[in-house]
Structure 1
Amino acid sequence: MVDEFAKEYLHGDLREIRETMVWKLDGLSEYDIRRPLTSTGTNLLGLVKHLSICESRYFGEVFGRPFPELLPRWDDPAERDADTWVTEHETREDIIGRYRRVWEHSDATISALAINSPGHVPWWPRPDVKLFNILVHMLTETSRHAGHADILREQLDGSTGTAAKYADPQPDATYWETRRTTIEQAAKAAAARADHVGSANAHDSMGTTP
């Protein structure tokens, strides 16, 4: 009973956070969903592509149920980082469509197996796992990238929220500027205080006789 509850609980959260990832693309242009927004090139559609490939492996080959479509191999050096950005020839529909097909395949695996069913992750230091481990891992991985997507989307148009039904109403620009200024002032004051304390401690230690 507890095992079935745990499986359903984790699976339910994974379903919700998947939808959040796709929702973060809504209303954005082709350029904005693809453009690199960090120094390492992180971008919204690339995050979705990455998660589709990760999830296909973890709920696929790990349990001897490979996803039926051809995807980059995890152990192919030539494909390194190819899953984190989208070429001009890959469409939004391609990436989101595959992600949803991966969900269906993963959901079938999760439904078919008990939470303690064994799997094998050859790229992990401890490769022998259970379905429980993989559910936790993919929920953590997806939630981590949903956090990245939150920040990227906020940079683009100020939109925030964990799902469409919980989208935060946006205060006007003056509100955000005032809030940002308040936080900036607090950060500067804290830094100045730390510098003052550090200088005082250094002065005291210089005056101490060994």
Structure 2
Amino acid sequence: MDILLADERALLEGMVDRQRNEIVGLLEGLSEDEARARLVPSRTTPLGLVKHATFVERVWFHHRVAGVPRADLALPDDVDDSFLLGDEDTVETVRASYVDACARSRAIASGRDLNETYRWHSGDVSLRFVLTHLVQELARHAGHGDILVEQLVARRQA
């Protein structure tokens, strides 16, 4: 379906999926060292961005919408820790984890009403809000990643 003419639900889900594709695409063609490269003072790396996006999917859809306790999902308490990489984190494992989290998120959202509400820190939010928030969150991080990847490619060509 062409999301340019889609109904609200298909539009929101289509926009989230576009950003999910941008996030997973950040790792295309990067070596393990490049994916872990820190080019800014923060913990932000291409691999860390994808790992953080996995955290975002799990917090919003798996925890908040589906109601799975954070501890059962092994989610860090501090959002900044979601960027941390362990020795077990590789381009392939982080990519696969993200793709799996996205598939699970789609399944969780499927069949739920856009007006269904869920508890959040500052009050209830609707599924419509969650989907819109994901578009914004993932687009911001995809932009960060694009800049990092551009710098890494330039390094390679220098």
Q: Which residue matches 2:132? A: 136
Alpha-carbon distance, 1:65 to partner: 4.1
Alpha-carbon distance, 1:154 to partner: 0.8
- Distance between the aligned counterparts of 2:110 and 2:124, measured in 1? 20
For residues 170-193 of structure 1, the C-alpha deviation after alignment (integer angstroms, 9 at most, x for no partner) is: xx99xxxxxxxxxxxxxxxxxxxx
Alpha-carbon RMSD across the aligned residues, in angstroms, is 2.3
Contact 2:66-2:108 at 8 Å conserved across structures: no
The correspondence of residues 7-22 of structure 1 with structure 2, limited to 5 A, is 7-22=9-24
Q: Which residue matches 1:148? A: 144
Unaligned runs of 5+ in 2: 1-5
- Distance between the aligned counterparts of 1:107 and 1:80, measured in 2? 22
- Distance between the aligned counterparts of 1:141 and 1:64, measured in 2? 20
Percent of matched pairs sharing the same residue = 32
TM-score (norm 2): 0.85
Tell me the matched-pair count.
150
- Distance between the aligned counterparts of 2:41 and 2:86, measured in 1? 18
- Distance between the aligned counterparts of 1:108 and 1:21, measured in 2? 19
Unaligned runs of 5+ in 1: 159-171, 174-210
Larger radius of gyration: 1
Alpha-carbon distance, 1:41 to partner: 2.9
Amino acid of the residue matched to residue 94 of structure 1? T
Alpha-carbon distance, 1:80 to partner: 5.5
Contact 1:14-1:138 at 8 Å conserved across structures: yes
